[in-house]
Amino acid sequence: MRRAPWLAPTVTLVAIVAIWEIGVRLSEVPAFLLPAPSAVGASLVDNWALLMGHAGVTIVETLIGFALSAVVGIALAVVIVMWPLVGAAIFPIVVASQVIPKVAIAPLMVVWIGTGMTTSALIAFVMAFFPVVVNATLGMKSVQDSSVDLMRSMGSSQWQVFRYLRFPSALPHIMTGLQLAIAFAIVGAIVGEFVGSDSGLGYLLIVTQGNLRTDLLFADLVVLTAMGLLLYYAVELIGKFLLRNRS
Would the pLDDT of 4 be above 70?
A: no
Interval 131-142 mean pLDDT? 89
pTM: 0.87
User: Which range among 32-41, 127-136, 189-198 has the greatest average pLDDT?
Assistant: 127-136
Q: What is the pLDDT of residues 103-122, one digit of tens each?
A: 777 778 877 887 778 889 99
Could you tell me what percent of the chain has a pLDDT over 90?
39
Contact 60/117 with Cβ under 8 angstroms?
yes
- Note whether residue 91 is domain-resident: no
pLDDT of residue 56: 94
Contact 177/135 with Cβ under 8 angstroms?
yes
User: How many other C-beta atoms can be found within 10 angstroms of the C-beta atom of residue 160?
Assistant: 13
CA-based nearest residue to 221, from 44, 65, 24: 44
- Note whether residue 109 is domain-resident: yes
CA distance 152 to 126: 37
User: How many other C-beta atoms can be found within 10 angstroms of the C-beta atom of residue 34?
Assistant: 16
DSSP 30: -
pLDDT of residue 1: 47
pLDDT of residue 246: 63
Query: Comparing 96 with 247, which gets the higher pLDDT?
Result: 96
User: What is the pLDDT confidence band of residue 33, given thresholds at 50, 70 and 90?
Assistant: confident
- Note whether residue 222 is domain-resident: yes
Q: What is the pLDDT of residues 193-239, one digit of tens each?
A: 888 788 899 999 999 988 888 999 999 999 999 999 999 999 999 88
CA-based nearest residue to 142, from 171, 163, 181: 171
User: What is the pLDDT confidence band of residue 36, given thresholds at 50, 70 and 90?
Assistant: confident
Query: Comparing 99 with 187, which gets the higher pLDDT?
Result: 187
- Report the CATH number at residue 211: 1.10.3720.10
pLDDT of residue 3: 60
Q: Domain tally for the chain?
A: 1
The residue segments making up the domain with residue 178 are: 50-86+100-246
Interval 181-186 mean pLDDT? 94
- Note whether residue 66 is domain-resident: yes
- Note whether residue 79 is domain-resident: yes
- Note whether residue 153 is domain-resident: yes
Query: Comparing 241 with 220, which gets the higher pLDDT?
Result: 220
Contact 178/70 with Cβ under 8 angstroms?
yes
pLDDT of residue 164: 77
Element (H, E) at 68: helix 48-82
- Note whether residue 207 is domain-resident: yes
User: Which range among 58-67, 90-99, 205-214 has the greatest average pLDDT?
Assistant: 58-67
- Note whether residue 11 is domain-resident: no
Average pLDDT, the chain: 86
